[in-house]
Amino acid sequence: MSAPATPRRAAPLGLVGRDLAADPHGRRTGSRVVLGVVVAAAVLAGLAVVAVRNGQIRMRYELTEAMQQERELLQQRRALTARVLALRDPDRLARLARERGFVRPVHVHELPAPQDPRR
């Protein structure tokens, strides 16, 4: 009887002719570069979105402050307008004139206009 044949190991597919020392995992190095570029682009896009959103929030905050300042200025303007109207009130002015001893003039003397020396 002959000796049983020793089973022959099959070589793994895809490893024939490949330099395993240079590429231990059997992957293509080009895909790593592409993956790195895609990840970097995604991070940059994310940072750009965050920067735009941050700018929007800052602008909304500034707009809110400006609107509050406008409301305060309008309120101040209304108060000052009311004060001016109260100070110019003819009844108030007549009362103050009487209290200080002012009287209406009896005679009004009109003076002739001075001659223009250039003529």
What are the DSSP calls for 1-50, one per residue?
Answer: -PPPPPPPPPPPTT-TT--TTT-TT---HHHHHHHHHHHHHHHHHHHHHH
Q: Give the pLDDT score at 77.
A: 98
Which amino acid, 36?
G
Q: Is the pLDDT of residue 118 over 80?
A: no
Helix, strand, coil abundance in the chain, percent, nearest 5 = 60, 0, 40
User: What token pair was written down for 93?
Assistant: 């002015």
Q: Give the pLDDT score at 117.
A: 73
The mean pLDDT of 91-104, rounded to a whole number, is 93
Question: In the 8-state DSSP scheme, what is residue 101?
Answer: T
The mean pLDDT of 5-9, rounded to a whole number, is 62
Greatest Cα pair distance, the chain, in angstroms, is 161
Q: Give the pLDDT score at 18.
A: 62
Predicted structure pTM score: 0.48
The mean pLDDT of 33-37, rounded to a whole number, is 90
